[in-house]
Amino acid sequence: MEKLKFSNEVFEAGAGKIYDLLIRISMPALALGVVVIAVINAGLLTQVADYPDALKYLFLILIVIYVVPMLFVFPTAWMLRSWKTRDLRDNYVLAGNKVVEYHKIVDKSSAHATENVYVATQIKKVEEGPRKVTVIGNIVEKGSGVKSSELVIPKAFENMELIRRAARYR
């Protein structure tokens, strides 16, 4: 069985793509917010009454609809991406001919990390989405013995095609 480790490049192209998109959309809003604050502090808006109403409304709409929400979106997306990366960094996948094992760290707060090991056997199908790979077959969580038919693995590991190959060897 081959060990698939976390890859930041695969994460950014797969499971982390939404966070990257939100950060890229909200970055110009931060710069625009700084410019607006500088313009207000410089006193350049003292002649606002002389501007056409359409320009005033456009300015207000831009600030209220784009800048203010993005001031919250940027740090939220940044923190979610860093937390997700930190959580996935210690996880790994073991892929063999007929078996896929997903080792997921669920608790790092204790003296030693608590790990759930999900074993997929008799794999019927592997479905690939934009941010995850879903393995359908007989899934057993080793620690508790809980059985399921579906295992979701985020797209964040190198050589993810080995998981698809495991479905061919059933």
Judge whether 131 and 168 are in contact, CB under 8 Å.
no
State phi, psi for 109 to the nearest 5 degrees. -80, -25
169 pLDDT exceeds 70? Answer: no
> Which structure tokens are listed for 146?
């809980």
Q: In which band, very low, low, confident or very high, does the pLDDT at 106 lie, cut at 50, 70 and 90?
A: confident
The domain locations on the chain are 7-89, 92-169
Distance CA 102, CA 92 (A): 6
pLDDT tens digit sequence for 127-167: 988 899 999 989 999 988 899 999 999 999 998 888 888 77
Instruction: Tell me how far apart the alpha carbons of residues 134 and 22 are, in angstroms, rounded to a whole number.
Output: 25
